[in-house]
Structure 1
Amino acid sequence: MGLLDQVVGALAGGQNGGGNTQLIQAVLQLINNPQIGGLGGLLGILRQSGLGEAADSWVSTGRNQPVSAEQLQASLGDSLLPGLAAQLGITPQQASSGLADLLPQIIDHLTPDGRLPQENQGDLLTEGLALLKKGGLFG
């Protein structure tokens, strides 16, 4: 069973998704990190590292382009992945693999109108966790 299937299972009341829910929460905290510059800052990092087309597809209303764990490792590697991995008690490779599955979907759901939310529209972490609790993040 893939990571996404485990997350969907967790949202549906499955038993094996606890760590994946933690990964989703960690991704939302990463997006909301003021040192990164929020969602726009994270997208900027991805664009600068060559993942701009894929990242822009996650924001747009069209189909999300996939990224590989290796691409995210190269893009976020030494700056963000070690801290995320340490927070979750997993390796940076496991973190990048989880991000490859989750990040496109999380960003897609945080930008339903095909554009970044305005800064004054509220806390993305709160909005994302609310989506997660309602089961709407992957539904």
Structure 2
Amino acid sequence: MGLFDGALGDVAGSLLGGQGGDAQQMLGGLLKQFNGQGSSNGLLAAAMTLVQQQGGLEAIVQKFQAGGLGDVVQSWVGTGANAPVSGAQLEQVLGHDALAAVASQAGVAPAQIQEGMASVLPEIVNQLTPGGSLPANSGALINSVLGMLRG
């Protein structure tokens, strides 16, 4: 996985204005978090696709805040421990249709996507918000990582 980590770090570094060390750590953290969990690349790609389809990282944060889960999403953005979220809460905030569409694209049942997203989405938001703030270029970073995950 070393070559893959290096490639992700290089892309992230260029997107984050040459902060390659921070970017590599951010993406390496994502990959390490889900390493060895079966189809983790597929789940990461599905989660990033969901973020993209919802309008980006900023839109996800706003939807959680509007849905009464501002404290939960803020824990993901912040530098402390990530608060858990349930599949039902994800469906409440993001909508059944959005989760069903991602499940269909991934070829799994909506309940599986809810469960998977509940574990992956907090870590994605956490890793994409180093230092506790939303990056201005998260959309470009997500697009690049998606391209690499899909090979």
TM-score (norm 2): 0.67
Higher helix share: 2
Query: Which blocks of at least 5 consecutive residues in structure 2 are unaligned?
Result: 1-31
Aligned residue number for residue 26 of structure 2 = none
Query: CA–CA distance in 2 between the matches of 1:107 and 1:131?
Result: 18
Task: Give the drift of 1:112.
Answer: 0.9
Q: Percent identity?
A: 39
Residue 125 (structure 1) aligned with residue 142 (structure 2): yes
What letter corresponds to residue 114 of structure 1 in structure 2?
Answer: G
- Runs of 4+ with deviation above 4 angstroms: 126-132
Unaligned runs of 5+ in 1: 11-16, 133-139
Cα deviations by residue, 1:41-60 (Å, 9 ceiling, x for unpaired): 01111111121110011001
TM-score (norm 1): 0.73
CA RMSD of aligned residues (A): 2.6
Q: CA deviation at 1:88?
A: 0.8
**Whole-Å separation in 1 of the counterparts to 2:147 and 2:134:** 18
Deviations 1:48-94 (A, max 9, x none): 11211100110011111111112112222324101111011111111
Q: What's the counterpart of residue 47 of structure 2?
A: 27
Match of 1:135 in 2: none
- Count residues in correspondence: 118
Find the partner of 1:7 among 22, 34, 38: 34
